[in-house]
Amino acid sequence: MKRKCRDYESRLPDNTAVKQQQLPAFRLQLTASEILSGFFAIGLFCLGMGIILLLSAKSIKEVEINYTEKCATCAKLREEATNFDKECNCSISFYLPQKMEGNVYLYYKLYGFYQNLYRYILSRSNIQLVGADVKDVRNCAPFRTSDNGLPIAPCGAIANSMFNDTIVLWYNFNSSTHIRVPMVRTETAWWTDKYVKFQNPAFQNLSSAFAGTAKPPNWPKPVYELDENDPGNNGFINDDFIVWMRTAAFPNFKKLYRRLHRIGNFTEGLPAGSYSFIINYNFPVSRFQGQKAVVLSTLTWSGGSSLFLALAYLVTGAVTLLASFSMMALHLKLKERKTFFLQ
């Protein structure tokens, strides 16, 4: 019996404040007025933020031009695979009624292109993209190897379908003077993508690093010729390539293509006037009944022109205030009833 008691006592927790749960504790007990005050404060904060974000989004100047139908001749040419080596350019003129001040960003926009398909997202090689092994194509079906059996670099469905239209903006100063708008093609990708997730192989000569590989079937040139004039924007670390490889969540999306270089006539932004887009049409969309557009936009401290965040704050604030008034009415009613019974 004594042995059993000793065994039982050995299994008991130590007689300390922690193990005996005797530490001092604070139990939060809020009154009805304090809870209502918190709800009203949250509701007013969300409502105020929603109004500020809405006004901020409304102050953004944005021009979107859909060129699917306007470049119908080029679109028809691209429907035939045999015409892959034939160039086709189309010109789109438009008038900018108001000056776009500050930084101006150029986007391309696709409608009906599903980058969120599961097999499409998986069709890539992160080992290859980080520069560790350019011949690693294990997860890149159905674009692993070329017809000659060479590993494709970059491999996979995402890389093979890269957007490759060339967009150039011209400012028509007058009928005889046309100025090409200076654009910057770098610093359009996320910093983590550019310097962490994408790296070129450790070779001094980039073309030698990709020896023994083939370009994707839909590409007109290999990856080491994406930007031969700028070694910091060539190969896997090309900004256009990195931006495309970050897949979109929805079928209608826009991706950053260029930034305005604020020099000369464009120091303060894009002046009002006549402009033209010269588009080298390469990316076919008629096969999947999609559409293409080009977007010029300014930004504010809250980002782009999307109203989603503003509407989310407004709806949350309105619902919270409605719940606050409902709880206050119920609280006052129960308080009156309690007072009546006490009398």
pLDDT tens sequence across 293-317: 999 999 888 877 778 899 999 999 9
pLDDT of amino acid 20: 75
pLDDT of amino acid 58: 87
pLDDT tens sequence across 48-79: 999 999 998 888 999 999 999 899 888 888 87
pLDDT of amino acid 6: 62
pLDDT of amino acid 45: 96
Tell whether the torsion through CA atoms of 294, 109, 100 and 102 is positive or negative.
negative
pLDDT of amino acid 184: 95
* 235 closest CA partner among 150, 123, 131, 135: 131
Question: 86 in helix, strand or coil?
Answer: coil
Separation CA 238–CA 48 (nearest Å): 41
Pairing relation of β-strands 291-298 and 62-66? antiparallel
pLDDT of amino acid 22: 78
Within 8 A by CB and 6+ apart from 307, the residues are 54, 57
Run means of pLDDT, 10 residues per run, the chain, 343 residues: 60 78 78 89 95 90 93 86 81 94 95 95 96 93 93 96 95 90 94 94 88 93 91 94 96 95 94 95 89 94 83 95 92 75 57
Phi-psi region of 102 (alpha: psi -120 to 50; beta: other; left: phi over 0): left
Q: For residue 284, what are its two tokens?
A: 């076919």
Tell whether the torsion through CA atoms of 295, 298, 304 and 305 is positive or negative.
negative
* 215 closest CA partner among 225, 204, 229, 200: 225
Residue at token pair 């944005």: 62
Q: For residue 76, what are its two tokens?
A: 């028809």
| pTM for the whole structure | 0.82
Separation CA 223–CA 238 (nearest Å): 9
Within 8 A by CB and 6+ apart from 10, the residues are none
* 91 closest CA partner among 296, 285, 276, 295: 276
**Residue ranges per structural domain of the chain:** 33-60+304-319, 62-299
